[in-house]
Structure 1
Amino acid sequence: MTTQTINEIWNYYLTLEGDITNTSRFIEPSGQENVHSFEFAKILILACTELESVFKLLCLEITGKQPEGTIGKYKETILARYPRIVDAVVSVKRWGRTIAPFQGWDIGKLSWWNAYQEVKHNRGEYFSGASYSNAVYALSALYISILYLARTANVDFADYTSNYIESDYSKTRIIYGATKKLPDFENITT
């Protein structure tokens, strides 16, 4: 894994972040998190598709071999190595909430991931799953996964800046307090 690869992934993330930022011109997220639209469908699908790519790279970094291409296999590999990813939290500034997008993954499925699958495969019936909330959860999961990938690959990622989603895992939040390590890396030095 190279710094250039991480940079390319991050730049794609920033493009999706720009898309979600633009939606705030049309809706106020607080109180309308279940509003659904084609724009949220696009963001949800693109964020989850990119997340699958990051999962694949993360699994490759963890095991050293090409992973099987299913979310179940990715989950198995990632949680075996990083069981505390479920505790990783981010702050969604525009929404005014702190969320843990992987919370509950260790005991079941992720509702926003299920919404992605339903919207992708049967949008007509499940279009309500293309909501602001699901799009933000998917984008937040992508954000956290990129941090995990960078840390696993030993790529310095602390100075990368996000304008929509923040975490205490980045030096950019030093104003608010000491930078924290990702949950699975708290007792690891380097």
Structure 2
Amino acid sequence: MYLLHRKYATDPRHYVRAFLLIQQDMLDLFSYVEPSDRNLDTYSHRIQQLLMRTCVEIEANFTAIFLDNEFSVSGRNFTINDYKLINKSHRLSSFETRVPGWIGDHGIRQPFASWAEEQPLSWYRAYNKSKHNRHENFHLATFDSLIDAFCALNILLSAQFMDEEYGPGGKSIGLSGSDYFYEGDDGMEPSIGDILRVRFPDDWPANERYDFNWQELRNLEDPFENFDYAAYS
């Protein structure tokens, strides 16, 4: 229930709705580009535009996290090097997602895994290069990069809101059918939008795990503490 407290986050539904719109466009794209290893290097204007939208939305979520925690950088806008600090608080590099109906070996994604090794995100670099010089770097905006970015956005929302969609009467969009099911128990859970599945980190250090009684805290004006990103910058 703490996810629904008005002080937990600023207008979370705004960010969830944006993801759900991108997800619908991804499902439309799957009608033309099969989610398969064979299509990882496919690129097109539609894929590049979706990559741009998705990464802009990721940046918007990162910025919102910083602002809600009253973190800022002096005299400039946030960069990806700043956003990497959020891995300290959210452990994004330990999340996994699974893409429905994927054909081949690349259906399970860890789009933030390279941050654990202090390495750049290849899909974000593809976005940045194709944004600033599309003519020369258009080929970098591949289906592979788009899938990683889409999964990254889902992970970022899952890390903040679990599967809460902040819609009236439950889930905002329910998508089901023979194309979207999972066989067996892969240890993953349904995520926002009910399409991707997510595996939450199981490697949290004991001293960083929550231990609180929400019934005691819920009536406080602001029961949440800011994360001190400045201590890690």
TM-score range, shorter chain: 0.7 to 0.9
Give 1:81 deviation, angstroms. 2.3
Q: Which moved more, 1:22-31 or 1:1-10?
A: 1-10
Name the CA distance, whole Å, in 1 between partners of 2:114 and 2:98: 18
Higher helix share: 1
The aligned counterpart of 1:59 is: 66
The aligned counterpart of 1:133 is: 144
Counterpart among 17, 42, 46 of residue 49 in structure 2: 42
Counterpart among 102, 106, 125 of residue 95 in structure 1: 102
Given residue 145 of structure 2, which amino acid in structure 1 is its aligned partner?
N
For residues 166-181 of structure 1, what are the structure 2 equivalents within 5 Å? Answer: 167-168=188-189, 170=191, 181=200
Instruction: Tell me: CA distance 1:184–1:13, structure 2 relative to 1, closer, same or farther (3 Å).
Output: farther
Name the CA distance, whole Å, in 1 between partners of 2:97 and 2:35: 16
1:85 touches 1:183 (CA, 8 Å); kept in 2? no
Q: In the TM superposition, what whole-angstrom CA distance separates every residue of 1:32-57 from its partner, at most 9, and x where no partner exists?
A: 11100111101100000010010111
Indicate the SS of the match to 2:160: helix
Given residue 74 of structure 1, which amino acid in structure 2 is its aligned partner?
Y
Given residue 115 of structure 2, which amino acid in structure 1 is its aligned partner?
W
Name the CA distance, whole Å, in 1 between partners of 2:159 and 2:123: 20
Name the CA distance, whole Å, in 2 between partners of 1:172 and 1:17: 8
Name the CA distance, whole Å, in 2 between partners of 1:36 and 1:172: 25
Name the CA distance, whole Å, in 1 between partners of 2:139 and 2:130: 8
Name the CA distance, whole Å, in 2 between partners of 1:128 and 1:3: 37
The aligned counterpart of 1:188 is: 210
1:112 touches 1:138 (CA, 8 Å); kept in 2? yes
User: How many residue pairs get matched?
Assistant: 178
Name the CA distance, whole Å, in 2 between partners of 1:181 and 1:100: 11
Runs (5+) with no aligned partner, structure 1: none
Say what the alpha-carbon RMSD is for the aligned residues. 3.2
Name the CA distance, whole Å, in 2 between partners of 1:105 and 1:79: 8
2:154 touches 2:192 (CA, 8 Å); kept in 1? no
The aligned counterpart of 1:115 is: 126
Q: Which ranges of 4 or more aligned residues in structure 1 deviate by more than 6 Å?
A: none
Name the CA distance, whole Å, in 2 between partners of 1:12 and 1:137: 17
Indicate the SS of the match to 1:105: helix
2:95 touches 2:199 (CA, 8 Å); kept in 1? no
Rg larger in 1 or in 2?
2
Instruction: Tell me: CA distance 1:45–1:8, structure 2 relative to 1, closer, same or farther (3 Å).
Output: same
Task: Give the TM-score of the pair, scaled to structure 1.
Answer: 0.78
The aligned counterpart of 2:80 is: 71
Q: In the TM superposition, what whole-angstrom CA distance separates every residue of 1:22-81 from its partner, at most 9, and x where no partner exists?
A: 1122122211111001111011000000100101112234x4334551111111x21232
Name the CA distance, whole Å, in 1 between partners of 2:144 and 2:22: 15
Runs (5+) with no aligned partner, structure 2: 1-6, 183-187, 213-233
Task: Give the TM-score of the pair, scaled to structure 2.
Answer: 0.65
Given residue 87 of structure 2, which amino acid in structure 1 is its aligned partner?
L
